[in-house]
């Protein structure tokens, strides 16, 4: 089984695929409440509790995590944000290793998207393009909408984790 994670300090997406590539679970962990999760460590503790639930219900052979951004790009995330995300990615990676005894493998978002067949046109919002592709390819992908008709915030993170899991599944199949 494969666990795919899209790690973020606000909402982390998680997808579990069985040995045949069937989606067993597609969920998210909402970490936006600063009252409950004031620090990266509290957020990590919550992720650890959620992953403990996975531990008792699923056996993973592989864990794939979206690779942290490696470079600062003007107009996008600040250097401070990139550093915070890298720290949190490390915390969650360590939790995965400790809990499941598996060294997570990292896949760049662009690589995972390409493996999934997603082409993001210049000037388009990548998350929206990914979601549209997931909705086209995954008949069981559930989307809840806000009262204004927009996808709920966790939808994009769940879609990203599914793309990471599918890319991981493809890599696993190529090796076996």
pLDDT digits (tens, 9 = 90+) for 2-38: 999 999 999 999 999 999 999 999 999 999 999 999 9
Task: Summarize the chain as % helix, strand, coil (round to 5).
Answer: 45, 15, 35
Q: pTM of the predicted model, to two decimals?
A: 0.91
Pairing mode, strands 105-107 and 62-66: parallel
Phi, psi (deg, nearest 5) at residue 19: -65, -15
Amino acid 76: pLDDT: 55
CATH of the domain at 8: 3.30.420.10
Burial class, 59, CB count within 10 angstroms (exposed 0-12 / middle 13-18 / buried 19+): exposed
Determine how many CB atoms are found less than 10 A away from the CB of residue 140: 7
Residues of the chain with pLDDT under 70: 69-77
Amino acid 80: pLDDT: 81
Amino acid 70: pLDDT: 54
Determine how many CB atoms are found less than 10 A away from the CB of residue 54: 19
Q: What residues make up the domain containing 128?
A: 2-175
The 2-6 sheet, strands edge to edge: 23-30, 11-17, 2-6, 62-66, 105-107
- Dihedral (Cα; 6, 121, 171, 156), 10-degree rounding: 20
CA triple 3-61-157, angle to 5 deg: 5
- Count of the separate structural domains present in the chain: 1
């Amino acid at each position: 089984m494969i666990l795919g994670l899209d790690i973020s300090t606000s909402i982390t997406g998680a997808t579990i695929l069985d040995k045949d590539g069937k989606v067993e679970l597609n969920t998210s962990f909402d970490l936006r409440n600063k009252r409950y999760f004031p620090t990266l460590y509290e957020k990590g503790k919550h992720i650890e509790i959620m992953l403990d639930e996975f531990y008792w219900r699923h056996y993973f052979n592989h864990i794939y995590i979206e690779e942290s951004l490696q470079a600062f790009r003007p107009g996008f995330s600040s250097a401070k944000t990139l550093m915070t995300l890298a720290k949190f990615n490390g915390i969650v990676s360590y939790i995965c290793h400790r809990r499941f005894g598996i060294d997570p493998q990292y896949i760049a978002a662009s690589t995972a998207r390409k493996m999934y067949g997603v082409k993001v046109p210049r000037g388009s919002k990548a998350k929206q393009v990914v979601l549209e592709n997931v909705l086209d390819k995954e008949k069981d992908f559930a989307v809840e909408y806000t009262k204004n008709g927009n996808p709920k915030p966790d939808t994009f993170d769940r879609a990203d984790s599914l793309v990471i899991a599918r890319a991981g599944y493809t890599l696993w199949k190529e090796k076996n």
